[in-house]
Structures are given as structure tokens and as C-alpha cells.
Amino acid sequence: MKHNSLAAMVAAFAVFAFAQNVKAQNFEEFVKQQNAEFEEFAKERQQGIEALKAEYEQTVEDYKRAMNRMYDSEISSIDLMKSDDNIEVKTKAKAPKSTVSSSELSKNAKEAKEAIDNASSDEILKKLTGANIDEANAQQVKEATNKLSIVISDVINQTEPAKAEPMPEQKAEPEQEQKPEPKKEVEAKSGNSNIPSGKPCTYSRISSPFGERIHPVYGRKSFHKGVDLAAPNGTPIYATADGIVAFAGVCNGYGNFIKLNHQNGYKTGYAHMSRMVVSSGAKVRKGDLIGYVGSTGTSTGNHLHYEVYYNDQLTDPAKTL
């Protein structure tokens, strides 16, 4: 009996040991498998981060290009509006309120452009997320990419939100210009034909106001130097004061652009025109047709970008409409 029970015990132990061995083998197998899976996972993770970083680097390039174009457009349009500043001052005009120095804006734009040009993608990521690019996790890299993408699309759409003015179906016929009704708009509020006043065109709404807008995350905010008046393609545009056509041509992001010099230190600018009907040097009277609304230059929809300068100051055109 004792013998039997001992044998049984030995047998039981053998079975137990065998089971343990099998377990141990399974466990080793299991660990091996887990390690392999983990390695694979880590590899995928690493590849994932590398891919995210590559996407981020590409986005930084796109961002720099977009910002460069934006600042170039801003600087060249200010320079254009500032050139030939020898305007005859006949009467003392009261300086408009809420003016901004265009020299200051131009200087700021040049500095911001340079800062962005010189910034490394690492610096930009640090600015956006607080992390260095080598230590950044996937979430941070994604976050930085998203932020930059938003800025890029803001910069691209800054002149006019696409949804502002639904494109008419007959857009295929670009020469569909409305019959001009000269002087109607601009004469509505006119008092002095030497000072810009009245609406340069019929419009549905101001789709973008004068002043600071867009927050490009890195660098300064962009300044919208005029008002955007949403109007269909081909809407007639009139001079808002007597003056001389100082420029009529293509200007960087402004597309077809007309600059008028008026007396008393005033200048007006009309951008994104589909067509211009006056040329440089021509004399215009308040209410004269100068061109038609379009979407040339950096613009995603039909509108008139309208600017009013007083000496070296940018003023809010909304106050003169």
C-alpha cells in the first residue's frame, strides 16, 4: 500500500513536472512571440513617426512657401502704393481715423518673412508644441502638422472665402459684364470729388474687413490692407474720387490692379479685377468706370479688394463706403 502510494506520488510528480516543462516551453514560446510582436510594433511605430516627421517637414516647406508668397505680395503692393508719392496737395484734408503706417507694415512684413525663412523645422515644432523634433512623439508631430496646415489654408484663402459668392453657372462666359451704371454708387455719398467716398462697386457684403487677421502661429499676424467686397464676376468698378491712374497692370497676388492718385494725399487701390478699362496716366473723374470685378491674383472667389491710402497711412475703406 505504501509502495503504491509512493509510486503514485512519483508518477504524479512526473506528470506535474512534465506539465511544468510543457508550460515553461509554452511560456518561452510565448515570450519569444511577444518579443517579436513587440519588435514589429516598435518598428511600425518608429516607421510611423518617421512618416509623420516626413509629412511635417513637407508641411513646413509648404508653409514657408505660402508665407513667402503672402509677405511678398504684401510688400510689393505696399511698395507700389507708396511709389510716386509726389501727390499735389491742394486743400487740407482731415486725416482719417484708424490709420496704420504702411512703412511700418512693410518693415514688419519683411522682418516676419525673414524670420520664417530662417527658422528650422525643429524651431517651428518647438514653437508649436514645445518639443524638439528628435524627442517629439507622434501626437506632437501630428499637432504641429495640423497647425501649419490650417495656417497654409488660411493664407491661401485669405483674400476671399470660396463660399462667400456662389459662382454663377454661366461662369464659362467670362465677358458677361453687367451694364455699367456710372456714378450711381460713388455719388451716393459724395461731397468732395477729391476725397475717396462711396462704393466703388455694388456688393453683397464685406467678406473680409480691414485690419489684422490670420494667426500664422509663427511670426506676426497678417494685415488686411483693405476691404473685400463680395460681388459677381463682371460687376462694374468705379473710381471713388477724381484722380490719375498711377498704375494699371498685374501686381503679384493682387492680379489686375489699379492704383489711383488723388489730391490731398489720397490714393485708392482696386485689386483682382477681371478686366481693366483705363491705362496708366489716364485722368479719371469720380464715378468713372475703371474695370470689372474678377478673381485674378491670389483669390479664390470673385470680389473687389479695395484700399484707401492717406499719405503713408492705410485707412479703413469701410469708413468711406
Stretch that binds Zn ion, among 55-63, 128-136, 181-189, 223-231 (CB under 5 A): 223-231
> Where do we find the cell 501626437?
139
- Sign (positive or negative) of CA dihedral 144, 145, 150, 151: positive
User: How many other β-carbons are positioned within 10 Å of the β-carbon of residue 64?
Assistant: 20
Per DSSP bridges, beta strands 99-101 and 222-224 are unpaired
Residue 228 binds Zn ion (CB under 5 A) = yes
Q: What are the b/e assignments for 31-58, b being 16+ CB within 10 Å? A: eeeeeeeeeeeeeeeeeeeeebbeebbe
**Chain residues 191-210 in contact with Zn ion, contact rule CB under 5 A:** none
**Residue 225: CB minimum distance to Zn ion, A:** 7
228 vs 316, beta carbon nearer Zn ion: 228
272 forms part of the interface with Zn ion (CB under 5 A): no
- Cβ proximity to Zn ion: between 64 and 305 the closer is 305
Q: Kindly state the number of chain residues that form the binding site for Zn ion, as judged by CB under 5 A.
A: 3
- Closer of 147 and 199 to Zn ion (Cβ): 199
- Indicate the angle between helix axes 138-156 and 121-129, nearest 10 degrees: 100
Choose the stretch contacting Zn ion; rule: CB under 5 A; options: 60-68, 120-128, 145-153, 304-312. Answer: 304-312
Residues 269 and 307 sit within 8 Å (Cβ to Cβ): yes
Q: Which of 284, 305, 307, 314 binds Zn ion (CB under 5 A)?
A: 305
- Least distance from Zn ion to the Cβ atom of residue 257, Å: 11
Give CA separation, 161 vs 210, 254, 321, in Å: 15, 16, 21
Q: How far is the CB of 146 from Zn ion (least distance, A)?
A: 26
* Contacting range for Zn ion; rule: CB under 5 A; set: 133-141, 174-182, 226-234, 313-321: 226-234
- Region binding Zn ion by CB under 5 A among candidate stretches 29-37, 94-102, 161-169, 298-306: 298-306
Contact 162, 143 (CB under 8 A): no
Please, what is the minimum distance in Å from the beta carbon of residue 192 to Zn ion?
Answer: 26
Residue nearest to Zn ion as judged by C-beta position: 305
Q: In the bound complex, what is the minimum distance in angstroms from residue 96's beta carbon to Zn ion?
A: 18
Stretch that binds Zn ion, among 15-23, 65-73, 157-165, 293-301 (CB under 5 A): 157-165
Closest to Zn ion by CB, 125 or 229: 229
3-state secondary structure of 306: strand
Question: Terminal CA-to-CA distance of the chain, rounded, Å?
Answer: 116
As a whole number of angstroms, the distance between CA 108 and CA 212 comes to 13
Shorter beta-carbon distance to Zn ion: residue 262 or 305 = 305
Q: Determine, following the binding rule CB under 5 A, whether residue 74 of this chain makes contact with Zn ion.
A: no
Residues 127-156 that bind Zn ion (CB under 5 A): none
- DSSP for 187-218, please give it: HTT-S-TTS--S-SS--SEEEE-SEEE---SS
Binding site for Zn ion (CB under 5 A): 159, 228, 305
